[in-house]
Amino acid sequence: MRITQSLSGLLILACSIPATAGDSASPADAFMAAFEPHCGQAYEGRVVVDEPSEGDNAFTTSTLVMHVAECGEQEIRIPFFVGDDRSRTWVLTQTPDGLRLKHDHRHEDGSEDAVTWYGGTATESGTATRQAFPVDAESVAMFEREGLVASVNNVWAMEIEPGQRFMYELSRPSGRLFQVEFDLSEPVATPPPPWGAETVADPSQQLVWAAATNGEDIKWREAVDYCADLELAGHDDWRLPSLAELETLHQADARGGESIRSPFAIGGCCLWSNESLVDRPAEDGDEIGGSPDRYQWGLMFDGKLHYYAVDIFDDGRALCVREPGSPGAAHQ
């Protein structure tokens, strides 16, 4: 891989060291900040407590994955995948009343489930590693309306030890205790977006982006084919973006250290563009060996650096884009 950069790129790289929470941060602030090192990463988990046991079910027989997908100043969104079921997202929000946890549940078509947006607000300060969320009145009313009487006394909790473990918990006074623990020491491949969050519109550029990459570093030709074959949100006219289009996603001070603006997450360093050295010749050109069409451009987001690489190496990921309103693009 050959990287091209300017002095301004070096300055951006030097200044992109993430800030850390100060000693004066409240427990809720410190708890939210603990997710920052994991922004954009996904982790596998397992059920560690299920009392009273409900026997084999989707949680005990499926692969469980959490994805710290979006990290804003006031809100963190963590999709929770149970096998191929992408209906669940945990939403942590700083509010004037305290730290709030809500559950966003969607159907596969993106529409809201009848039981969604339930949760509660931490009534006590908690700690930097554990926060508990008793069910709120709005959720109680919904549970009663939907006949979920057992859920009206729910208390949810989350624990995080950065670089080690994350735990999600549901408990009830009846003795019900359910805990899922995730290994934060070993990221796994970035999963697809949760249902209802597959695309991101950018009206300023008149583009619609896929919200997630293909999930692993691949060859340039594989990236081209991935986008060409992609069927997402009712459309099949996806393509790789240009370098200029990729640059619109760069944000040097983005939380999570990937330098890409929310809600995007790379899960790696680099994204392929649709341009080769034929389209955009390199200033040095000392590696082309007479075959500029075999060298493709990509963007390294840490520092907003252009690079080019031979198309047979796994040197980037695919983040697909399309123009809204393209004729003949929609399918059923």
| Tokens linked to 331 | 């399918």
Residue range 26-183 forms a domain whose CATH class is mainly beta
| pLDDT score, position 183 | 98
Give the contacts of 133 (CB within 8 A, at least 6 positions apart).
99, 100, 101, 119, 120, 121, 122, 155, 156, 157, 158
| Tokens linked to 44 | 């596998």
Q: Map tokens 């999963």 to a residue.
A: 191
CB distance 131 to 76 below 8 Å: no
- For 226, counting Cβ atoms within 10 Å of its Cβ (0-12 exposed, 13-18 middle, 19+ buried), the class is buried
CATH architecture of 198-322: Roll (3.10)
Phi-psi group of 107: left, alpha or beta (phi > 0 → left; psi -120 to 50 → alpha; rest → beta): beta
Give the contacts of 91 (CB within 8 A, at least 6 positions apart).
75, 76, 77, 78, 101, 102, 103, 104, 119
Q: Map tokens 């003949």 to a residue.
A: 328
Query: Residue 38 half-sphere exposure, CB side, CA atoms within 13 Å?
Result: 28
CB distance 128 to 34 below 8 Å: yes
Q: Compute the distance between CA of residue 51 and CA of residue 45 in angstroms, rounded to an integer.
A: 18
Kindly provide the b/e burial profile for residues 56-72, where b requires at least 16 CB atoms within 10 angstroms of the residue's own CB.
Answer: eeebeeeebbbbbbbbe
| pLDDT score, position 286 | 60
3-state secondary structure the chain: CEEECCHHHHHHHHCCCCCCCCCCCCHHHHHHHCCHHHCCCEEEEEEEEEECCCCCCHHHHCCEEEECCEECCCEEEEEEEECCEEEEEEEEEEECCEEEEEEEEECCCCCECCCCCEEEECCCCCCCCEEEEECCHHHHHHHHHCCCHHHHHCEEEEEEECCCEEEEEEECCCCCEEEEEEECCCCECCCCCCCCCCEEEECCCCEEEECECCCCCECHHHHHHHHHHCCECCECCCECCCHHHHHCCECCCCCCCCCECCCCECCCCEEEEEEECCCCCCCCCCCCCCCHHHEEEEEECCCCEEEEEECCCCCEECCCEECCCCCCCECC
| pLDDT score, position 13 | 32
**Could you list the pLDDT tens digit for every one of the 332 residues in the chain?**
666 543 233 323 333 334 444 456 799 999 999 999 999 899 999 999 999 987 889 999 999 999 999 888 889 999 999 999 999 999 999 999 999 999 999 888 777 899 999 999 998 889 999 999 999 999 999 999 999 999 999 999 999 999 999 999 999 999 999 999 999 999 999 898 898 888 887 878 889 899 889 999 999 999 999 999 999 877 899 999 999 999 999 998 875 567 888 778 788 899 999 999 999 998 876 656 668 889 999 999 989 999 999 889 999 999 999 998 665 444 33
Q: Where are the domains of the chain?
A: 26-183, 198-322
Q: How far is CA 199 from the centre of its chain?
A: 12
Q: How far is CA 36 from the centre of its chain?
A: 12
